[in-house]
Amino acid sequence: MENLQQLTSVVRSTLLRWHQLIPTAIGIIERLRDDLRVYHDFATAHEAALVSLIEVNAQLTHIQQLATPEELVMPRKRLQQIQVCF
């Protein structure tokens, strides 16, 4: 009788763990989706920041290398044009 109780106890605990497996897996999947959403938001913001920085870099390069003498005497105006991009 005692041996039978030990066997049923093992089976019972195994079944409880099995039934808890699906809710645990669902919880893990939900956390992964949340983390993926945060990563996607970060990647989108990072990409936008890179594009903006590249645009500013191009404009500054233009000012440094290709600006006409008239543009060189108006640095504030050029700076305001760059700031408009943001």
> Can you give the pLDDT at residue 15?
93
Per the structure, the complete domain to which residue 20 belongs is given by: 2-84
pLDDT reported for residue 85: 57
CB contact set of 75 (below 8 Å; sequence gap of 6+): 63
**The pLDDT of residue 45:** 97
pLDDT in tens, the chain (86 residues): 788 888 889 899 999 999 999 999 999 999 999 999 999 999 999 999 999 999 888 888 887 787 777 777 776 776 677 766 55
Alpha-carbon distance values, 67 to 23, 45, 53, 54, 60 (Å): 64, 31, 19, 18, 10
pLDDT confidence of residue 84: 62
Number of domains in the chain: 1
